[in-house]
Amino acid sequence: MLEGLAGRGLLIDGDWAGPGRGGTYAHHDPATGRHQADVGLASAREVDDAVRAARAAFPSWRRTPPHRRAAVLARLADLLDEHAASSAALNALDNGTPVSAMPSGHYAASWTRYYAGWVDKLDGEVLPVHDTGALDYTRTEPYGVVAAIVPWNGPMMGMGQKVAPALAAGNTVVVKPPELAPFGALRFAELALEAGLPAGVLNVVPGGAATGQALVGHPGVAKISFTGGTATAREVMAIAARHCTPLALELGGKSANIVFADADLDTAVPVAAVLGAGLLSGQGCALPTRLYVDERVVDEVVARVVAQVESLPIGDPLDPSTLVGPLVNQAACTRVLGVIERAHADGARLATGGRRLADTLEEGYYVAPTVFCDVDQHSDLATQEVFGPVLAVLPFADEDEVVSRANDSAFGLAAYLHTRDLSRALRLVEALEVGTVTVNGFPPMSPSAPFGGMKASGFGREGGRAGIEEFVQRKNVTLRY
Buried b (16+ CB within 10 A) or exposed e, 126-149: eeeeeeeeeebeeebbbbbbbbbb
Residues 6+ apart with CB under 8 A from 173: 54, 145, 146, 147, 148, 162, 163, 166, 167, 201, 202, 203
Q: Which entry of 46, 179, 190, 250 is annotated as an active-site residue?
A: 250
The neighbour count for residue 193, using CB atoms within 10 Å, is 17
Is the torsion defined by CA of 177, 179, 180, 183 positive or negative? positive
Catalytic residue flag (residue 285): yes
Contact assessment for residue 269 and residue 385, using Cβ atoms and an 8 Å cutoff: no
Q: Which entry of 285, 385, 469, 470 is annotated as an active-site residue?
A: 285
Q: Where in the chain is the domain with CATH 3.40.605.10?
A: 2-251+457-480
Contact assessment for residue 174 and residue 47, using Cβ atoms and an 8 Å cutoff: yes
Domain 256-446 has CATH 3.40.309.10: yes
Contact assessment for residue 249 and residue 412, using Cβ atoms and an 8 Å cutoff: no
The neighbour count for residue 339, using CB atoms within 10 Å, is 19
Give the C-alpha distances (Å, rounded to integers) separating 256 from 132, 408, 441: 55, 10, 14
From first to last of its 481 residues, the chain has per-residue pLDDT tens of: 666 666 678 999 999 988 889 999 999 999 999 999 999 999 999 999 999 999 999 999 999 999 999 999 999 999 999 999 999 999 999 999 999 987 788 999 999 999 999 999 999 999 999 878 899 999 999 999 999 999 999 999 999 999 999 999 999 999 999 999 999 999 999 999 999 999 999 999 999 999 999 999 999 999 999 999 999 999 999 999 999 999 999 999 999 999 999 999 999 999 999 999 999 999 999 999 999 999 999 999 999 999 999 999 999 999 999 999 999 999 999 999 999 999 999 999 999 999 999 877 888 999 999 999 999 999 999 999 999 999 999 999 999 999 999 999 999 999 999 999 999 999 999 999 999 999 999 988 899 999 999 999 999 999 999 999 999 999 999 999 8
Q: What is the pTM of this model?
A: 0.95
We find that the CATH architecture of domain 2-251+457-480 is 3-Layer(aba) Sandwich (3.40)
Catalytic residue flag (residue 250): yes
Question: Between β-strands 126-127 and 134-142, what pairing exists: parallel, antiparallel or unpaired?
Answer: antiparallel
Quote the CA–CA distance of 358 and 373 in Å, as a whole number.
Answer: 24
Q: Where in the chain is the domain with CATH 3.40.309.10?
A: 256-446
